[in-house]
Amino acid sequence: MGTLGKAIYTVGFWIRETGQALDRLGCRLQGNYYFQEQQCICCPSASMIGDVQVGRGSSIWYGCVLRGDVNSIRVGSGTNIQDNSLVHVAKSNLAGKVFPTIIGDNVTVGEHSAVLHGCTVEDEAFVGMGATLLDGVVVEKNGMVAAGALVRQNTRIPSGEVWGGNPARFLRKLTEEEIAFISESAANYTNLAQVHAAENTKAFDQIDLEKALRKKFARRDEEYDSMLGVVREVPPS
């Protein structure tokens, strides 16, 4: 890297550091309740706009948009909304019904790129990747929406059922193992979010140093590596 490259890198580094510091200050200015009691994790590049409340231990992942501009969005505790998912609301429909979006506790949304619009997803439900839930949809506790499904307006998905397709329809009953998996998935993402939160607070020079240490000494961190599925071997001396 030449002199000009180093200068650009340094300027970029300090701009990013300043931006992160301002973001933390803004959270504190919004109130201790938001920053300390809620303790949700919102990844960089995710956006929460308008009347949005997210519960303790929940995580909003990269590229997500939660837009509570014309109505409210409520997300419970221990829930994860995964990468590039969109959550929006409806001020009213043709029948005059008002549709906020309500997501319960320990819910897994998205497995990436889901769309939730003016719907309700109850506790410990699961929404697969690329699924779309339209106005008035209710996914009951322990219900599951399969990947790529389009759930039409005012559809109710009963507890313990899997729905999929376009338009979505009943496919089968969930097994006890699958119901248990929904809770496990939420817990796993709560833990994984803590790892991402810690990594995202690190400065570039700290990240570069840790990379060099891992490469040179194959330093092992069982808790960190288990999240990534990495198995490290110590090289011969």
Q: What is the pLDDT of residue 123?
A: 95
Show me where the domains of the chain are located: 1-30, 35-181
Strand partners of residue 134: none
Distance from C-alpha of 111 to C-alpha of 27, rounded to nearest angstrom: 27
Of the chain, the percentage scoring pLDDT greater than 90 comes to 52
**79 and 53 Cβ atoms separated by less than 8 Å:** no
pLDDT top residue among 26 and 36: 26
- pTM score: 0.73
Q: What is the pLDDT of residue 218?
A: 59
Average pLDDT, integer, range 114-142: 96
**Residue 38: pLDDT band by 50, 70, 90 thresholds?**
very low
Looking at domain 35-181, its CATH superfamily turns out to be Hexapeptide repeat proteins (2.160.10.10)
7 C-beta neighbours (distance < 10 Å), count: 11
Select from 141, 120, 145, 119 the least CA-distant residue to 131: 145
Distance from C-alpha of 56 to C-alpha of 71, rounded to nearest angstrom: 21
Q: pLDDT tens across 146-167, in order?
A: 999 999 999 999 999 999 999 9
**DSSP conformation class of 101:** E
